[in-house]
Amino acid sequence: MLRRAVLALPVALAARPARAAEARVTIDNFVFTPATLTIPSATSVTWANHDDIPHSVVSANRPPDFKSPVLDTDESFARVFDKPGTYLYFCGLHPHMKGTIVVT
Amino acid sequence: MDDPSASRRHALSCMAWAGGGLLWTIAGGIPRAALIGSAQAQTQGFTFAQLSDSHIGFTREPNTDTKATLGEALALLKTAPVKPAFVLHTGDVSHLSKPAEFDAAESILATSGLDTHYVPGEHDVLDEAGTKPFIERFQKRHSQGDAGGAYYSFDANGVHFVGLNNVVDLKAGGLGNLGAAQLAWLERDLAGRSASTPIVVFSHIPLWTVYAAWGWGTDDGAKALALLARFGSVTVLNGHIHQVLQKVEGNVAFHSARSTAFPQPAPGSAPSPGPMKVEAGRLRGVLGVASVTLVPGQAHLAIIDTPLGA
């Protein structure tokens, strides 16, 4: 009986839908928090704007690898990071606002 | 104001907040202020107005009706002692570049019956098409300095006006940006003009560094100012920071106008440059318009900032 139960376990896990790990970056007072977020590969990062002013999330690479639409108050944007590396980004409206995603 | 020992600077800020229109005449680098009623300079010269940061589409505290306050600003210009020849709008016409916001702004601004010359703010170029919708709607009357650039110049009453765009192609960690192409155009545009031609430059973000920690400046603004250095009278107008600030450096007078939508805090005085919450009764004292007069025989233009109300 015990042997059968152990064998059944991986089958049960595989049957569940695949789900990426999740992480969040908040925007308050024109600041991305945390400024540097370190995540394992295949993590979905959600940025949420809590300011009264719109912001955006734009990769600092030229041309940008990713770019959110404009996020008005309480709007958010998610992106899955599936390749290890360091991703610098900034706010397209207020470029002094910067952040970094480190994918391990 | 009741305290006779109050410093002059303090007295001026009190008058501004109490709602008195201020006339600034600047001669020989020394700014002088007087209440509007005592202004002599208004009796002659050529006057135009500056509007800024109408943020049509913004509906939060402290101003849930930015259409109404824009309308009040235009009404103030209509009833001014000297009717302005035209209006400069220094950007953030809209809050989110939505066509409906541009529609509303355009129809309200049309009620002034005044020609209006626009430069974009960063809130006006959020569409995927970049500057194109703004240019097609608000800059049709001008031929572009460079195609799609949203910058141009024109002449009026002997003054050369230069509208610059410092809100696109922004770089991570940077401030406002003019870019090499726009600076090259500016050099060509100014070439051959007499040094005695009064120049008025208007842009959204300040060309001078007001406060870098909040992004209030333009990375390559000094390059534009170097091109203007040989002119005897240069006035640099901007919006973006939603408050009156001014300084004079040699022949150059810098002036930042109020918003018609909401105030922002003084540099570094709050955790962020977000909208400053003020009581409903005080809102109109911190919104307003500017009127600018070229006074014959004076190197510097006279600028009056008038709030919408007390």
Q: For residue B213, which residues of chain A lie inside 8 Å, CB to CB?
A: 96
Best probe of the B interface among A30, A49, A53, A73, by most B CBs < 10 A, is: A53
Q: Stretch B297-305: mean pLDDT, rounded?
A: 85
**B132/B135 Cα distance (integer angstroms):** 5
pLDDT of B3 strictly over 70: no
Domains of chain A: 20-103 (2.60.40.420)
What integer pLDDT is reported at residue B44 of this predicted model?
Answer: 61
Q: CA distances (Å), A19 to each of A43, A72, A82, A96, in order?
A: 9, 27, 13, 34
Q: Which amino acid is at A69?
A: P
Q: How far is B173 from chain A (nearest CA, A)?
A: 4
Q: With 90 as the cut, is the pLDDT of residue B300 above it?
A: no
- Asked if B214's CB is within 8 angstroms of A29's CB, the reply is no
* Dihedral Cα A91, A95, A98, A101, nearest 10 deg: 50
Q: Does domain B43-307 have CATH number 3.60.21.10?
A: yes
Span B107-166, pLDDT tens digits: 999 999 999 999 999 999 999 999 999 999 999 999 999 999 999 999 999 999 999 999
Work out whether strand A43-49 and strand A76-81 pair parallel, antiparallel, or are unpaired: antiparallel
Q: What is the ipTM of this complex?
A: 0.83
CA angle A59, B269, A75 (to 5 degrees): 35
Alpha-carbon span B98 to B248, nearest angstrom: 37
Count CB neighbours of B245 within 10 A. Answer: 17
On chain A, the residues whose CB falls within 8 A of the CB of B171 are: 60, 90, 95
> Taking a C-beta distance cutoff of 8 angstroms, is the pair B307, B258 a contact?
yes
Question: Which residue among B60, B123, B170 sits closest to A52, beta carbon to beta carbon?
Answer: B60
Cβ-contact A21, A40 below 8 angstroms: yes
Residues A29-85: tens digit of each pLDDT = 999 999 999 999 999 999 999 999 999 999 999 899 999 999 999 999 999 999 999
Q: Which of B132, B25, B112 is nearest to B72 (CA)?
A: B112
Chain A, chain B: beta-carbon pairs less than 8 Å apart: 58
Return the residue in B126, B131, B167 with the most chain A beta carbons within 10 A, the one to mutate for interface testing.
B126
Q: Which residue of B has its CA nearest to A61?
A: B172
Q: What is the mean pLDDT of chain B?
A: 87
Residue B20 has a pLDDT of: 32
pLDDT at B187 over 80: yes
Mean pLDDT of B262-291: 95
Residue that has been written with the tokens 């704007």 in this structure? A49
